[in-house]
Amino acid sequence: MKFLISWLLLISCSHLGYGRLERIRLTKFDSLRRQLIGSRTPMEKYLKHNLQTKYNLQTKYNLIGGPVREPLTNCLDMEYYGEITIGTPPQKFKVLFDTGSSNLWVPSVKCRGCGAWHNQYNSSKSSTYKPNGTSIEIVYETGSMMGFLSTDNVAIGNIVAKNQTFAEATREPGMTFVAASFDGILGMGYSEIAVDGVQTIFDALVEQKVIDKPIFSFYFNRNTSDSTGGELILGGSDPKYYKGSFSYEKVTLKGYWQFNMDSVVIKGGSKFCPNGCEAIADTGTSLIVGPTQDIIAINMELGAKLIEDSVSQYAFECDKVASLPYVGFILGGKAFYLSAEDYVLKVSQWSSETMICLSGFQVLDSPLTIGPLWILGDVFLGKFYTEFDKGADRVGFAEAV
Ligand SMILES: *[C@@H]1O[C@H](CO)[C@@H](O)[C@H](O)[C@H]1NC(C)=O
Ligand SMILES: *[C@@H]1O[C@H](CO)[C@@H](O)[C@H](O)[C@H]1NC(C)=O
Ligand SMILES: *[C@@H]1O[C@H](CO)[C@@H](O)[C@H](O)[C@H]1NC(C)=O
Ligand SMILES: *[C@@H]1O[C@H](CO)[C@@H](O)[C@H](O)[C@H]1NC(C)=O
């Protein structure tokens, strides 16, 4: 049994004629981050400090228990899932495609408390099932997934990874997952960080030669009024989703999709991590997360204020958002700019019907933090169509259309 910390703080089929690209439609659903601004008890105040990542928040929520009374709906902070099938005949599952972890797990029919509305894998119903039985535990920011390994055929769209080992969860990592619209997680990080040394699905697809190129890419539709969530493309990327060409960053450490970032700049203002820092592209995280000092400084310079009673959650006055500067992420000498529209999350508070303009820059104050890592989540990946190139070990960014 091994542990792994995953950032997983978030997360698509049709066939294309050329180059055997497999398209998996991504569906989006409202954020899991049910927030509690305006509540009163000390515990709830404590919870308010942890807007940073939905799973992290939810862990604390689990530890504490008790109802979340002031849910916020969040129009920008969306999650994206797609459908896979496991076994013969196929059993369907909705999974988050997470580049910040490397295992596949789905709830097991043997799980008690996994949320009966979730699809649960029943190995007795599959003729291609092969038992394994090794126990597994994956530590997420919100809690642990526990279960055991099994092997079966896993289909993503029209392509199948045969004899794929995955985890049957007998315990889900926190209420977030129990309540989530998706059933499980499909990790798309490197095999190097796969718990129990299980080969990742993507590596299996490449090895079994069912995709032409060892490349996948994500397009996230950020239009909140459009029901199409986006697309995961296996085997390449689709020029219809981006302008210009990709700028590639070499993967510096295989595990997450990690690379070096030159700096972060506020246009017309300060520069952060001036000597470079490490960053990851993580479809499993909604926001942009970074080292505490830098994130605080960015929020202050942009004029975001701490939300009352919070130590880590910043918000803008909504009428000032239009005049906020661009924030640039300098990668390989090229600036990737986010506008305020990209990095401010407009959140409506149901009870009072007031809008809150949350900052998309989040402190990562988790005890699970490994080093001063920047996490470029969906706020960034939505603006920049991202290609994950396993063959050349590089990540490519191009402006999404
Ligand atoms: C799993 O499938 C078997 C075979 O169809 C069935 O007998 C069993 O009741 C199922 N288990 C559950 C918990 O649904
Ligand atoms: C999967 O396992 C079966 C039986 O163990 C074996 O016959 C088959 O060759 C394996 N397929 C792959 C692609 O490994
Ligand atoms: C279970 O799967 C793991 C990871 O693929 C493998 O190392 C191990 O040998 C398997 N064990 C059995 C009993 O099949
Ligand atoms: C967003 O999607 C809606 C519904 O499909 C469409 O009417 C609208 O034009 C889109 N907005 C933008 C900015 O593309």
| Residue 348 pLDDT level (bands cut at 50, 70, 90) | low
195 lines ligand 3 (CB under 6 A): no
Per residue in 363-389, pLDDT (tens digit) is 765 544 456 789 898 889 989 999 999
Is the alpha carbon torsion for 217, 360, 401, 16 positive or negative?
positive
- Nearest partner of 104 among 49, 145, 61, judged by Cα: 145
238-283 tens-digit pLDDT: 898 899 999 999 999 998 999 999 999 999 999 999 999 999 999 8
Q: How far apart (Å, rounded) are the C-alpha atoms in residues 361 and 53? A: 11
Contact call for residues 200 and 189 (beta carbons, < 8 A): yes
Q: Which of 102, 150, 165, 199 to mutate to test the pocket of ligand 3 (most atoms within 8 A of CB)?
A: 165
pLDDT for position 79? 60
Minimum-distance ligand 2 atom for the alpha carbon of 208: 13
**C-alpha–C-alpha distance, residues 73 and 101, integer Å:** 27
* pLDDT tens digit sequence for 311-327: 667 889 999 999 999 99
Question: In sequence order, which residues have a C-beta less than 8 Å from that of residue 26 and are 6 or more positions away?
Answer: 12, 80, 81, 82, 97, 218, 220, 229, 230, 231, 232
Better pLDDT: 156 or 73: 156
Instruction: Tell me which of 143-147, 188-192, 317-321, 336-340 is least confident.
Output: 143-147
The answer to which of 111-115, 145-149, 187-191 has the lowest mean pLDDT is 111-115
Does residue 192 register a pLDDT over 60? Answer: yes
Measure 147 CA to ligand 3 centroid, in angstroms.
14
16 band by pLDDT with thresholds 50, 70 and 90: very low
The pLDDT, as a whole number, for residue 370 is 53
Query: Quick one: average pLDDT of 350-354?
Result: 61
Count CA atoms within 13 Å of residue 193 on its CB side: 21
Q: Measured from the CB, is residue 45 less than 6 Å from ligand 2?
A: no
Rounded to whole angstroms, the Cα distance separating 19 from 140 reads 36
Span 6-24, mean pLDDT?
43
163 lines ligand 2 (CB under 6 A): yes
Q: pTM to 2 decimals? A: 0.83
Ligand 1 proximity of 122 Cβ (cutoff 6 Å): yes
User: What is the number of the ligand closest to the CA of 116?
Assistant: 1
Share of the chain above pLDDT 90, in %: 47
- Owner of token pair 């600036």: 335
In short, whether 226's Cβ falls inside 6 Å of ligand 4 is yes
Decide if 365 is catalytic.
no
Atom of ligand 2 nearest to the CA of 162: 13
Question: What's the gap in Å between 318 CA and the centre of ligand 2?
Answer: 58
Q: Which of 183, 262, 282, 389 is catalytic?
A: 282
**What's the chain's average pLDDT?**
78
Question: 259, 329 in Cβ contact below 8 A?
Answer: no
Q: Is the pLDDT of residue 2 over 50?
A: no
Is 162 close to ligand 2, i.e. is its CB under 6 Å away? yes
Q: Is 198 in the pocket of ligand 3 (CB under 6 A)?
A: yes
What's the pLDDT score for residue 142? 63
Give the Å distance between the CA of 372 and the centre of ligand 3. Answer: 34
Active site residue 282: yes
The SS3 of residue 297 is helix
**Distance separating alpha carbons of residues 344 and 358, to the nearest angstrom:** 6
Residue 5 has pLDDT above 90, yes or no: no
Residue 152 has pLDDT above 90, yes or no: yes
Measured in Å, residue 205 CA sits from the centre of ligand 2 at 14
Give the Å distance between the CA of 165 and the centre of ligand 3.
Answer: 8
Residues 103-121, mean pLDDT to the nearest whole number? 90
The answer to whether 15 and 22 are in contact (CB under 8 A) is yes
CA distance 95 to 54: 17
* Catalytic, out of 77, 98, 196, 342: 98
Q: Is 124 in the pocket of ligand 1 (CB under 6 A)?
A: yes
Percentage of the chain exceeding pLDDT 70: 73
Task: With residue 369 as reference, give the H or E element that holds it.
Answer: none
**Is the pLDDT at 34 greater than 80, yes or no?**
no
Q: Return d(Cα 236, Cα 216) in angstroms, integer.
A: 5
CA distances for 46 relative to 50, 313, 346, angstroms: 7, 11, 22
- Residue 348, strand partner residues: 73, 355
Binned at pLDDT 50, 70 and 90, residue 141 comes out as low
Does the pLDDT at position 331 exceed 70? yes
Q: Give the pLDDT of residue 227.
A: 65
Q: How close is the Cα of 125 to the center of ligand 1, in Å?
A: 7
Mean pLDDT over residues 120-125, rounded? 97
